[in-house]
């Protein structure tokens, strides 16, 4: 009789030893069943079976489904199998070789948007629908709230610790890599803006009921949106700049994107050069800065100055003495006076030495401008004393910091606009986190999402008045920590 049938007859299941199990079994089968019993007893004694069941339940948490949903892939058409001419008994005709092209195009660039104002039409809303009235009310809110005095470090750490993340503060706001992000200065509600890899600009109101879970997105550019900022003098205006060479201003009241500046060269960065935010300094990929006045008709610059032989990655204007601006170039960080710029070979007012690789960013401190914070690809963050604006600004602090991988946005340290001497930067340490430092190098706090410890939030920003912080990643999701 076969073994399986014999076991079935006596009622013995696989992995069990019951009373009377030795009926009709050979000595080999009896020994095998005893081994199974002993093995199970041993595994139970060390709780391995229970641990295995618990391990099966542990999986990486699914990303938030709030916000935009990626469209389902279209079903591929099944084509008939191809047959060669030889199998079809058809004689092949001789083919002449085509001449080798002199220039090989690696990537086809998407055509730039036409010049002039563009209608502000949300891509993820029904055709012909208007912008939500609540958005206009929030957008036009005049936020005059200011922090009366700088917090001491103990109070500041307490404020940071009060900022938490919840599932409703995570949303997919764009389909692609987030390059830039900013908070609207409104204090009543959290309204955020981001720019992505394909030139889209999105708006997300936490708790909003329009669009996709409060998310609206637009297409004013065709290249990565590397820099954006709300006007400090007119919060109803959001300016965004793209690699495609365009700089536009979102106007919700008129429902258009105004054409501010347009050039054939790629644009990397900009900042406001006047308190009314009408004059801008714009850096391009050729190492030039353009002075742009938004009140001048047209979309061209007033002046153009060559500062770096390679490229400019970041410009930052002094908060009170607007004639000064700091430039992060290929391997140098210099401070210039806009009143004494020449077309070529402009003399720097101050040189910030010590960088051995390319610089990701350099920013003046938000209230006094007495410090400059730089992030370099040599794995160091540096803080310089610029209070005296000497020829060589002294280096105050150096902080070791690991740079990003090749597929992430370069990490940049940025000041908290509410705190003169503290800044935030993402970390590549495990688990992934965002760290807040004092200018002395002392770490004040770490933002960690315990459910998503593997995510790098490369695009970061603090709210200008509220205790709120945002971080964006390469998958197009925003994470908001708030009190």
- H helices within 121-169, ranges in order? 133-139, 153-161
DSSP codes joined into one string, 27-43: HHHHHHHHHHHHHHHHH
Average pLDDT over residues 8-25: 49
- Residue 106: pLDDT over 50: no
What is the band of 64 on the pLDDT scale with cuts at 50, 70, 90?
A: low
Average pLDDT over residues 349-355: 94
Please check whether residue 419 is in contact with residue 368, taking contact to mean a CB–CB distance below 8 angstroms: no
Please check whether residue 445 is in contact with residue 424, taking contact to mean a CB–CB distance below 8 angstroms: no
- Residue 142: pLDDT over 90: no
In order of their start, the domains of the chain are 118-150+170-410 (2.130.10.10)
Phi/psi at 243 (5° precision): -60, -20
> What pLDDT does 407 receive?
57
Measure the CA dihedral 282/415/413/264, to 10°: -10
> What pLDDT does 321 receive?
96
Per-residue pLDDT tens over the stretch 296-344:
999 999 999 999 878 889 999 999 999 999 999 888 899 999 999 999 8
Residue 206: CB atoms within 10 A of its CB come to 19
pTM: 0.79
Structure tokens belonging to residue 460: 């970061």
Residue 1: CB atoms within 10 A of its CB come to 7
> What pLDDT does 362 receive?
97
Per-residue pLDDT tens over the stretch 257-280:
999 999 998 999 999 999 999 999
Per-residue pLDDT tens over the stretch 214-227:
899 899 999 999 99
In angstroms, the CA 305 to CA 315 distance is 13
Strand partners, 230: 238
Please check whether residue 235 is in contact with residue 275, taking contact to mean a CB–CB distance below 8 angstroms: no
Span of 82-86, 252-256, 376-380, 466-470 with lowest mean pLDDT: 82-86
Name the residue among 252, 298, 247, 307 with its Cα closest to residue 272: 247
Strand partners, 246: 262
């Amino acid at each position: 009789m076969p073994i399986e049938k014999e076991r079935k007859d006596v009622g013995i299941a696989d992995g069990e030893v019951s009373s009377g199990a030795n009926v009709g079994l050979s000595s080999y089968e009896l020994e095998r069943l005893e081994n199974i019993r002993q093995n199970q007893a041993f595994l139970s004694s060390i709780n391995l079976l229970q641990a295995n069941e618990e391990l099966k339940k542990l999986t990486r948490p699914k990303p938030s489904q709030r916000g935009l949903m990626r469209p389902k892939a279209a079903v591929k058409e099944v084509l008939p199998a191809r047959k060669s001419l030889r199998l079809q008994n058809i004689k092949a005709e001789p083919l002449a070789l085509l001449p080798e092209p002199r220039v090989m195009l690696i990537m086809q660039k998407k055509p730039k948007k036409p010049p002039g104002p563009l209608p502000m039409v949300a891509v993820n809303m029904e055709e012909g629908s208007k912008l939500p009235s609540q958005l206009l009310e929030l957008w036009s809110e005049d936020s005059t709230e200011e922090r009366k005095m700088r917090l001491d470090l103990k109070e500041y750490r307490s404020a940071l610790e009060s900022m938490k993340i919840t599932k409703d503060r995570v949303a997919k706001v764009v389909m692609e890599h987030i390059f830039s992000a900013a908070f609207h200065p409104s204090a009543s509600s959290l309204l955020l803006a981001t720019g992505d890899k394909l030139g889209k600009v999105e708006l997300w109101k936490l708790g909003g009921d329009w669009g996709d879970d409060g998310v609206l997105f637009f297409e004013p550019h065709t290249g990565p949106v590397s820099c954006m900022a709300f006007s400090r003098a007119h919060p109803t205006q959001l300016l965004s700049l793209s690699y495609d060479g365009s700089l536009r201003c979102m106007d919700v009241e008129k429902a258009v994107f105004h054409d501010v500046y347009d050039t054939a060269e790629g644009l990397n960065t900009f900042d406001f050069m006047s308190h009314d935010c009408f004059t801008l300094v714009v850096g391009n990929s050729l190492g030039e800065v353009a002075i742009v006045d938004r009140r001048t008709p047209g979309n061209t610059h007033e002046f153009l100055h060559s500062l770096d032989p390679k490229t400019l990655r970041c410009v930052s204007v002094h908060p009170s003495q607007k004639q000064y601006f700091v430039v992060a170039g290929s391997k140098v960080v210099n401070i210039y006076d806009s009143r004494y710029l020449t077309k070529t070979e402009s003399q720097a007012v101050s040189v910030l030495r010590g960088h051995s690789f390319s610089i990701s960013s350099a920013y003046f401190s938000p209230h006094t401008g007495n410090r400059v914070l730089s992030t370099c690809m040599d794995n160091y963050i540096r803080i310089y004393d610029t209070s005296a604006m000497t020829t060589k600004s002294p280096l105050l602090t150096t902080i070791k910091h690991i740079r990003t991988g090749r597929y992430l946005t370069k990490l940049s340290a940025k000041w908290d606009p509410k705190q003169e001497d503290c800044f935030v930067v993402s970390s590549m340490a495990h688990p992934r986190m965002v760290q807040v430092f004092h200018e002395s190098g002392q770490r004040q706090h770490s933002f960690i999402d315990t459910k998503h410890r593997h995510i790098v939030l490369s695009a970061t920003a603090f709210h200008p008045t509220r205790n709120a912080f945002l971080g964006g990643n390469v998958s197009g999701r925003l994470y908001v920590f708030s009190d």
